[in-house]
Amino acid sequence: MTSTLRVLIIDDADHDAAVVVRTLVAAGYDVRYERVATASALTAALDGDIWDLAVGDFALRAVSGIAALRLVREHPADIPFIFVSGTPGEDAAVEAMKAGAHDYIRKGRLKRLMPAVRQQLREAAARRERRRLEERVAHLAYHDPLTDLPNRTLLHDRLAQAVRAALREDGRVALLVLDLDGFKEINDTYGHRAGDRVLQHVAQRMRGMLRDVDTVARLGGDEFALVLPSTDLEGATQTAGKVLQEIELPCVVDHRPLTVRGSVGLASCPEHARSADLLIQRADVAMYQAKSDRVGIAIYASKRERPHQRRRSG
C-alpha cells in the first residue's frame, strides 16, 4: 500500500528538488511536497501545513542551511530534517549534525536517502508515541478517568490559586461541594455500568453550564466540587440552584430514564475560610448538613450559628 509522504524541500533549484522527489516516489511513496528557498517562505510553509519530513540543501543563497534547520527545529512539530547537499568535505556534515540534523547525505550518494528517511520516520513516530503516552500519564495524574473532570489534586491547586487571588485583590471565591442523592439505589438496581453513565451525564451537564474561569471536579464516588472565582454567596447560591435543577433532569441510560438529586454545601472565602483546605472542609460540613436535613443547599455556619438552608424548588 502506498503511503503519503508530505515533504518540505528547502532548496534553490527545482532540478535538485525533483531528484529528491523521484527518489522518494521510486521507493513507493505518494509524495506531496513544497519547495521553498527563503526564510520567510519556510516559516509560512511550516505554519501553513503539516509535514512528515524536511529535506534541505546545506548551501543556499537566500538562507543558510543551518539557519533553515534551526527554523524547522524551533517549530513545535517534530519534523525529521535531512540534508541532501553537494557541499564537499566532512566539515559541513559535522556542523550539520551538531546543529541537530538527523542525517547528512551527499547528492552523489542518494542510495543512502531511503534508508535514512525510513529510519527517521520510524524514530519520529516512536517519539510522538512516547510523548502521547507521557501526556496521557500526566493528564491522568490530575483528572478523573471516568468523567475526565479535574480530580481532587487539581481541584485543590486551582482552589488555592483562586483563594490567593481573592485575598490579594479583596475579592471573593465560593466553593460548592455536591453529593448525589439516590445514586446508590441506581448502582444497586441497575448495576455499576448504569451508575457510571449517570456520573458521566452529571459531569457533562455541570461542565456545560459553568463559566470558563470556573472549575468542576470529581472528588470521588458520587461527590463533586465547583470552584467559582469572583463569586459572592448570593451568586454562588444562585449557581447551586441552577446546578441542582440541571442534574435532576433524567439521564437516559439504555433507553431507561434514571434520576438523581443533589445536596450542595457552600462555603466562601474570606467569610468562612482563608485557605483551600479549610474551605473544602467547611463546604463538606455544609453539604452533610444539607443532606441530613434533606434540603437542597446549605451554607456553612459555625456551631454557634444556625446554618442557612435553601429548600429544593418543586
Q: Which three cell numbers stand for residue 239?
A: 449557581
**Are residue 46 and residue 194 in the same domain, yes or no?**
no
**Are residue 103 and residue 161 in the same domain, yes or no?**
no
| 214 within 8 A of 226, measured Cβ to Cβ | yes
**Are residue 231 and residue 278 in the same domain, yes or no?**
yes
| Residue 77 backbone dihedrals phi, psi, to 5 degrees | -70, 145
**Are residue 130 and residue 163 in the same domain, yes or no?**
no
**Are residue 166 and residue 44 in the same domain, yes or no?**
no
Q: What domain range is 105 assigned to?
A: 3-140
**Are residue 9 and residue 30 in the same domain, yes or no?**
yes
Q: What is the pLDDT of residues 246-305, one digit of tens each?
A: 999 998 888 899 999 999 999 999 999 999 999 999 999 999 999 998 889 999 987 645
How far is residue 303's CA from residue 176's CA, in Å, rounded to a whole number? Answer: 20
- Helices (H), ranges, 13-105: 14-26, 39-48, 65-74, 90-99
Q: Around Cβ 57, how many Cβ atoms within 10 Å? A: 23
How far is residue 46's CA from residue 130's CA, in Å, rounded to a whole number? Answer: 23
Residues comprising the chain, all counted: 314
Active-site hit among 188, 222, 254, 277: 222
In a domain, 86, yes or no: yes
How far is residue 194's CA from residue 150's CA, in Å, rounded to a whole number? Answer: 22
Q: What is the pLDDT of residue 314?
A: 41
User: Vertex 270, ends 266 and 273: CA angle to 5°?
Assistant: 65
**Are residue 161 and residue 232 in the same domain, yes or no?**
yes
Instruction: Single out the residue of 84, 65, 71, 100 nearest to residue 24, CA to CA.
Output: 84
- The tens-digit pLDDT sequence of the chain (314 residues) is 568 999 999 998 888 899 999 999 999 999 999 999 999 999 999 999 999 999 999 888 888 899 999 999 999 989 999 999 877 667 888 899 999 999 999 887 889 999 999 999 999 999 999 999 999 999 999 999 999 999 999 999 999 999 999 999 999 999 999 999 989 999 999 999 999 999 999 999 999 989 999 999 999 999 999 999 999 999 999 999 999 999 999 988 888 999 999 999 999 999 999 999 999 999 999 999 999 988 899 999 876 455 455 544 44
In a domain, 65, yes or no: yes
Q: Quick one: the chain helix, strand, coil %, rounded to 5?
A: 50, 25, 25
181 is catalytic: no
Instruction: Single out the residue of 206, 157, 158, 154 nearest to residue 180, CA to CA.
Output: 206
Instruction: Single out the residue of 257, 246, 253 nearest to residue 208, CA to CA.
Output: 246
| 227 within 8 A of 220, measured Cβ to Cβ | no
- Give the domain-ending residue among 88, 117, 140: 140
Helix, strand or coil, per DSSP, at residue 160: helix
**Residue 289 belongs to domain with CATH number:** 3.30.70.270
Q: Residue 97 carries which side chain, given as an amino acid letter? A: M
Sign of the dihedral through C-alpha 296, 300, 303, 307:
negative
Helix, strand or coil, per DSSP, at residue 11: coil
How far is residue 239's CA from residue 297's CA, in Å, rounded to a whole number? Answer: 11
Give the number of domains in the chain.
2
**Are residue 136 and residue 156 in the same domain, yes or no?**
no
